[in-house]
């Protein structure tokens, strides 16, 4: 079976051009990271083909959110991506600053390669 490819695009950024001027493709661990990030930042109901897709982490920005609640949402969604190995369990750290910005750090093992992946991002602020 051939490895899956998709456009190389990080959340909130433009498509990336490849070395020959065409659209760059992502595969393997990079594609897995892109998919995890897209799932966590997409609001449920926004993806019209799968209305239950997404964690909607942006909904916590500016709200009296609790880091443990956000961590639980991340944990409930992250295993829906095939790129994330079930064991060892991902390590998820969440903090919310006084302005309401949410900071997320995730360490997980890529199911295909067995390599540890680090994903850090913030929402809001």
Q: What is the CATH number of the domain that holds 107?
A: 3.10.450.40
How sure is the predictor about 2, in pLDDT bands with cuts at 50, 70 and 90? very low
How sure is the predictor about 28, in pLDDT bands with cuts at 50, 70 and 90? low
- Interval 58-79: pLDDT, tens: 888 777 768 899 999 999 999 9
Predicted structure pTM score: 0.77
**Residue 113 lies in domain:** 5-123
DSSP H helical ranges for 1-125: 28-41, 67-78
Q: How many domains does the chain have?
A: 1
Report d(CA 56, CA 38) in Å as an integer.
10
Up-side HSE of residue 97: CA atoms within 13 Å toward CB? Answer: 9
Q: Tell me if 40 sits within 8 A of 55, measured CB to CB.
A: yes
Mean pLDDT of 75-87: 93
What's the mean pLDDT when you consider all of the chain?
A: 83
Report d(CA 41, CA 121) in Å as an integer.
10
Burial class (CB in 10 A: 0-12, 13-18, 19+), 33: buried
């Amino acid at each position: 079976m051939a490895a899956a490819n998709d456009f190389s695009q990080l959340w909130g950024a433009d498509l990336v051009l490849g070395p020959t001027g065409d659209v760059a493709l992502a595969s393997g661990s990079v594609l897995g990271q892109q998919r995890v990030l897209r799932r966590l930042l997409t609001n449920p109901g926004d993806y019209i083909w799968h209305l239950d897709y997404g964690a909607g982490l942006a909904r916590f920005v500016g709200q009296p959110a609790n880091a443990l609640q956000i961590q639980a949402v991340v944990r409930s969604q992250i295993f829906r991506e095939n790129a994330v190995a079930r064991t060892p369990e991902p390590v998820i750290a969440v903090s919310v600053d006084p302005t309401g910005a949410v900071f997320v750090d995730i360490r997980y093992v890529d199911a295909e390669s067995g390599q540890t992946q680090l994903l850090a991002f913030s929402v809001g602020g």
